[in-house]
């Protein structure tokens, strides 16, 4: 375990400090696990610039799209129990997904097939996050309605939102292409219907409590709110400005139980909580003697599932060169084409505010980097850290 030595430690600390000094990020924390053991942890910068509150190990971050792998794992729990079939029509559970229409160059035509659960897991459903075509415009209107009702007694629920998304035109015939969109939110609603309990309750019962993820959920209780990180965006002067808007139906202060438990973007967590989820996947479905999924299920969950035609939709995503996709995660398929030093078969995802997770089974390595920056995704600093870590920990 001498791969991550003094030189690499200094390189990582220097890279994070430089990103803070250049005001690319306000602060963050990084955790590296190798062979099931923590080999490095580092925190730097501020969770709140205004309060001069530092990032700590127990700082709570909004995961945004890093919620998606958790939703995929929840779906696979139901699959391996025989309660959900990947080829089942989503319309079997959600009436909004019956008799769907497809946007065919501005003309609505009847969908050639129904959206399946597998389509939701693979982002081949035809659901979008927005855009200028009929599908995108209709989706944007749904999110506008969500925002309008967010703080009212008529706030839209997980299932209501999924049904409204189902009534939007699809961007293409289900299963024919890949596009990143609201599939995970709809999957959360399907899990709610199949399990017979609120989506958040299912996650709590089946994943969070068994794994000891005590700070993970769809909102932050009052007694923990002083640990919630602030979100920042880039200003025109090259600095950082506080971001306080709600986005994608997520209540920015996270100060109340939401009507909409977003499987695509709604969770908050800490670096240690998410590390337990990552460790469960890395060890074939169990963590410290508690089994969440079976080994063969995890193998399927963490393998690419896009076919060659569907994959064409991922090609324009430049920073995912060398990757495919499946079960709401990126999967490294060709390390020679990637824009970072990669590990064969690595998988994971990131979030809109920059939280990042990566499991590298070939190297028995997990990387978690938690930041909170608007429109971040996988940032330049994240790729720089990856390059230091994977190059040194794969020898």
Determine the pLDDT at residue 394.
Answer: 81
What is the pLDDT at residue 316? 97
Q: Considering only CA atoms, which of 138, 184, 137 is closest in space to residue 162?
A: 184
**Does residue 138 form part of some domain?**
yes
Among the three residues 196, 219, 253, which one is the final residue of a domain in this structure?
196
Whether residues 246 and 360 share a domain: the answer is: yes
- Do 226 and 337 belong together in one domain? yes
The reply to whether 389 and 299 lie within a common domain is yes
Mean pLDDT of the chain: 97
Residue 54 lies in a domain: yes
121 backbone dihedrals φ, ψ, rounded to 5°: -70, -25
Mean pLDDT of 59-82: 98
Let me know whether 294 and 351 are in one domain. yes
Q: Which of 170, 196, 222 is the last residue of a domain?
A: 196
168: Cβ–Cβ under 8 A, 6 or more apart, which residues? 127, 135, 138, 139, 142
DSSP 199: H
- 161 and 187 assigned to the same domain: yes
Tell me, what's the pLDDT at 4? Answer: 83
DSSP output for 234-249? E-TTSSEEEE---BTT
Are residue 134 and residue 273 in the same domain, yes or no? no
Q: Which residue blocks in the chain are alpha helix, DSSP H?
A: 6-21, 68-80, 117-122, 134-149, 158-166, 183-195, 199-203, 209-211, 271-282, 295-301, 308-311, 380-393
Gap between the Cα atoms of 244 and 365, Å rounded: 35
In a domain, 1, yes or no: no
387 within a domain of the structure (yes/no): yes
Residue percentage of the chain with pLDDT more than 90: 98
Same domain membership, residue 145 and residue 126: yes
Q: Write down the pLDDT at residue 311.
A: 98
- Examine residue 249 and state whether it is found in any structural domain, yes or no: yes
Does a structural domain hold residue 278? yes
DSSP track, 149-182: HTTSTTPPPHHHHHHHHHTSPBSSSTTS----ST
User: pLDDT tens across 15-35, in order?
Assistant: 999 999 999 999 999 999 999
| Domain limit, last residue, from 196, 220, 255 | 196
Q: What confidence category does residue 1 fall into, taking pLDDT thresholds of 50, 70 and 90?
A: very low
pLDDT (tens digit per residue) in 329-355: 999 999 999 999 999 999 999 999 999
Is the pLDDT at 379 greater than 80? The verdict is yes
Q: Please indicate, yes or no, whether residues 355 and 389 belong to a single structural domain of this protein.
A: yes
Residues 62 and 92 in one domain: no
Task: Examine the domain organization and report whether 192 and 113 are in the same domain.
Answer: yes
Q: Are residues 224 and 352 in the same domain?
A: yes
Mean pLDDT of 98-120: 97
Binned at pLDDT 50, 70 and 90, residue 263 comes out as: very high
Please indicate, yes or no, whether residues 226 and 187 belong to a single structural domain of this protein: no
Give the model's confidence band at 395: pLDDT under 50 very low, under 70 low, under 90 confident, else very high: low
Asked whether residue 280 carries a pLDDT value surpassing 60, the answer given is yes
Number of domains, the chain: 2
Enclosing domain of residue 255? 6-74+201-393
Count the neighbouring beta carbons within 10 Å of the beta carbon of residue 253.
11
With respect to residue 66, please indicate whether it lies within any of the assigned structural domains. yes
The CATH number of whichever domain residue 275 belongs to comes to 3.40.710.10
Within 10 angstroms of residue 210's Cβ, the number of other Cβ atoms is 17
């Amino acid at each position: 375990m001498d791969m991550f030595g003094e030189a690499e430690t200094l390189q990582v600390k220097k890279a994070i400090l430089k990103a803070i000094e250049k005001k690319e990020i306000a602060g963050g924390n990084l955790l590296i696990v190798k062979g099931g053991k923590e080999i490095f942890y580092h925190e730097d910068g501020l969770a709140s610039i205004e309060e001069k509150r530092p990032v700590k190990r127990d700082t709570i971050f909004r995961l945004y799209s890093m919620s998606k792998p958790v939703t995929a794992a929840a779906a696979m729990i139901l699959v391996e129990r025989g309660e959900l079939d990947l080829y089942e029509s989503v319309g079997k559970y959600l009436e909004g997904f019956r008799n769907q229409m497809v946007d065919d160059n501005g003309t609505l035509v009847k969908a050639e097939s129904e959206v399946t659960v597998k389509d939701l897991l693979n982002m081949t459903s035809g659901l979008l996050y927005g855009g200028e075509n009929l599908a995108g415009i209709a989706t944007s209107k749904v999110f506008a309605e969500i925002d309008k009702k967010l703080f009212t007694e008529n706030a839209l629920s997980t299932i209501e939102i999924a049904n409204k998304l189902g009534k939007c035109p699809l961007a293409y015939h289900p299963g024919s292409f890949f596009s990143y969109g609201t599939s995970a939110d709809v999957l959360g609603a399907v899990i709610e219907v199949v399990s017979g309990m609120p989506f958040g309750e299912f996650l709590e019962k089946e994943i969070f409590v068994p794994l000891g993820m005590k700070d993970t959920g769809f909102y932050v209780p009052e007694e923990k709110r002083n640990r919630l990180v602030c979100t920042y965006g880039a200003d025109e002067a090259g600095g950082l400005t506080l971001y306080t808007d709600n986005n994608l139906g997520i209540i920015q202060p996270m100060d109340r139980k939401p009507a909409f438990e977003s499987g695509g973007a709604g969770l908050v967590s800490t670096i240690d909580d998410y590390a337990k989820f990552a460790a469960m996947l890395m060890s074939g479905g169990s963590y410290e003697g508690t089994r969440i999924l079976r080994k063969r299920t995890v193998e399927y969950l963490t393998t690419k599932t896009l076919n060659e035609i569907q994959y064409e939709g991922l090609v324009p995503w430049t920073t995912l060169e060398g990757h495919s996709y499946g079960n709401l995660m990126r999967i490294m398929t060709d390390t020679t084409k990637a824009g970072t030093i990669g590990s064969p078969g690595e998988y994971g995802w990131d979030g809109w505010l920059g939280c990042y997770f990566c499991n590298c089974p070939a190297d028995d390595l997990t990387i978690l980097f938690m930041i909170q920056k608007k429109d971040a995704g996988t940032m330049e600093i994240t790729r720089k850290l990856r390059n230091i870590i994977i190059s040194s920990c794969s020898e």
